[in-house]
């Protein structure tokens, strides 16, 4: 009896568990979809079916997994070049994302954008950005429009550690602070800007930089969904209450190289393997089991569902039409 009471108490103190089983399993499924999607596009690239390069976020799934539970359909998203996971977390269909990576006319960007520029306007996902740091001021502008129109939503700006060294980042954070706009900044600190380690690139951590501009911030273990979620929940509540911007730095790790040209010369196999022991999906799996949210069998079923969703997305994408040269100029200018 005493033991049961204790368990209940810990459930209450963990805000993530309060989301309930269905939503937690939804986040778990999402994380597997992200991983399976990226494993699949990597495979398609090696088969020559994906035309351009891509940036994989495998190892970083806890972050979109966590924010998918807190970000509403109405909220805006501005993401970055390593953005497949963000796209899925904002509700994009793997079918049309896969069609875009195969350069198809029915892809989200009609085959004009590819991996680095997927946007799903219907879900207020205003796109990944190919220029590091370039999307951050745009997110602040979305925040400004929200404020001017007195809307209830927020703008989510996601970027990496590398972006925090750009002028765009610093100008945007200062503007967000002085304008007091509803923007949630998430820095996915995967510890390398291509080959440049964070330690050599900055003396002040991203979340400290945010503080310097007067923006409340926190640093969390980006491999652990509950930790990321708890910090984000506080941030989102703060923003939605009309208090202005908030900044979260989530420390994470990408298992794959920066892009397809990466030969991993700047880090060791041992380092990668150490991080793989803290795999965000494995950790979340264990968390769900330990908290009696789901059984191994249920979670295995979800993993298999993710695998088959992505397989079907490939089947869908491969049957889609290619864009035509006659339509090359469509979309350059709005009529």
Partner 1 sequence: MSEMSFAQAIRAALTEQMRKDSRVFLLGEDIGVYGGAFGVTEGMLAEFGPERVIDTPISEAGVTGAAIGAALGGMLPVLEFQFFDFILLAMDQLINQAAKIRYMFGGKVSVPMVVRGPAGSGTGAAAQHSQSLEALFVHIPGLKVVAPSTPADAKGLLVSSIYDKNPVIFVEHKLLYKIKGEVPEGEYTIPLGVADVKREGKDVTVVATQIMVHKALAVAEKLATRGIEVEVVDPRTLNPLDLNTIVQSVKKTGRVVVVHEAVKMGGIGAELASSIAESEAFEYLQAPIIRLGGQPTPIPYNRTLERCAVPQEEDIEQAILRVLD
- Euclidean distance between CA atoms 130 and 115, whole angstroms: 9
Q: Binding to partner 1 by residue 117, rule CB under 8 A?
A: yes
Q: Which of 59, 65, 83, 137 binds partner 1 (CB under 8 A)?
A: 137
Q: Which helix (H) or strand (E) holds 187?
A: strand 183-189
The token duo for 276 is 């793989």
* Helix, strand and coil percent figures for the chain, each rounded to 5: 50, 10, 40
Smaller CB distance to partner 1: residue 162 or 226?
162
What is the rounded CA–CA span in Å between residue 326 and residue 334? 17
Instruction: Record the tokens describing residue 41, joined without a space.
Output: 């596009």
Q: How far is the CB of 194 from partner 1 (least distance, A)?
A: 18
Instruction: Report CA-CA distances (Å) from 162 to 61, 78, 167, 168, 192.
Output: 18, 16, 11, 12, 7
Name the segment binding partner 1 (CB under 8 A); options: 55-63, 66-74, 124-132, 189-197.
Answer: 124-132
Q: Under the criterion CB under 8 A, does residue 269 sit at the interface with partner 1?
A: no
Identify any residues that bridge with 159 across adjacent strands, giving them in sequence order: 187
Task: State which residue, 31 or 126, has the beta carbon closest to partner 1.
Answer: 126
- Among 91, 130, 214, 216, interactor with partner 1 by CB under 8 A: 130
Q: Is 18 in the site for partner 1 (CB under 8 A)?
A: no
**Mode of pairing for the β-strands spanning 192-193 and 183-189:** unpaired
Nearest to 133 by CA among 56, 238, 234, 206: 206
Q: Which member of 59, 113, 206, 222 binds partner 1 (CB under 8 A)?
A: 113
**Minimum CB distance to partner 1 smaller for 77 or for 288:** 77
Minimum distance from residue 137 beta carbon to partner 1 (Å): 2
Q: Should residue 280 be labelled a site residue for partner 1 when binding is judged by CB under 8 A?
A: no
Return the C-alpha torsion angle 173, 178, 180, 184, nearest 10: 10
Please tell me the distance from the alpha carbon of residue 1 to that of residue 260, in angstroms, as a whole number.
Answer: 56
Of 144-173, binders to partner 1 (CB under 8 A) are: 144-146, 148-149, 155, 167-168, 170-172
What binding mask, one character per residue, do residues 37-76 give for partner 1 by CB under 8 A, x or -?
Answer: ---------------------------------------x
**Binding residues vs partner 1 (CB under 8 A):** 76, 78, 107-113, 117, 119, 121, 126-127, 129-131, 134-146, 148-149, 155, 167-168, 170-172, 174-175, 178, 330-335
């Amino acid at each position: 009896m005493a033991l049961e009471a204790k368990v209940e108490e810990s459930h209450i103190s963990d805000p993530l568990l309060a989301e309930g089983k269905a939503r937690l399993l939804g986040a778990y499924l999402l994380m597997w979809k992200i991983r399976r999607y990226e494993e699949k596009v990597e495979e398609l690239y090696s088969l020559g079916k994906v035309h351009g390069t891509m940036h994989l976020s495998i190892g970083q799934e806890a972050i979109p997994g966590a924010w998918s539970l807190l970000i509403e359909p109405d909220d805006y998203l501005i993401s970055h070049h390593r953005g497949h996971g963000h796209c899925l977390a904002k509700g994009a269909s793997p079918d049309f994302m896969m069609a875009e990576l195969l350069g198809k006319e029915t892809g989200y960007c009609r085959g004009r954008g590819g991996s680095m520029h997927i946007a799903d306007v219907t879900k207020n996902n205003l796109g990944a950005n190919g220029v590091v740091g370039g999307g951050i001021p745009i997110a602040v502008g979305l925040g400004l429009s929200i404020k001017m129109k007195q809307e209830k939503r927020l703008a989510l700006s996601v970027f990496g550690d590398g972006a925090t060294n750009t002028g765009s980042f610093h100008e945007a954070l200062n503007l967000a602070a002085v304008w007091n706009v509803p923007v949630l900044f998430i820095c996915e600190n995967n510890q390398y800007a291509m080959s440049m380690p964070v330690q050599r690139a900055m003396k002040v951590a991203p979340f400290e930089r945010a503080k310097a501009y007067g923006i409340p911030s926190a640093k969390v273990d980006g491999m652990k969904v509950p930790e990321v979620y708890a910090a984000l929940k506080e941030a989102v509540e703060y923003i939605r209450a009309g208090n202005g911007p908030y900044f979260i730095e989530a420390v994470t790790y990408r298992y794959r190289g920066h892009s397809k040209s990466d030969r991993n010369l700047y880090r060791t196999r041992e380092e990668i393997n150490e991080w793989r022991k803290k795999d965000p999906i494995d950790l979340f799996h264990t968390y769900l089991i330990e908290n009696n949210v789901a059984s191994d069998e249920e979670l295995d079923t979800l993993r298999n569902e993710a695998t088959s969703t992505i397989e079907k997305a490939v089947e869908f994408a491969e049957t889609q039409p290619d864009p035509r040269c006659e339509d090359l100029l469509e979309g350059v200018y709005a009529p």
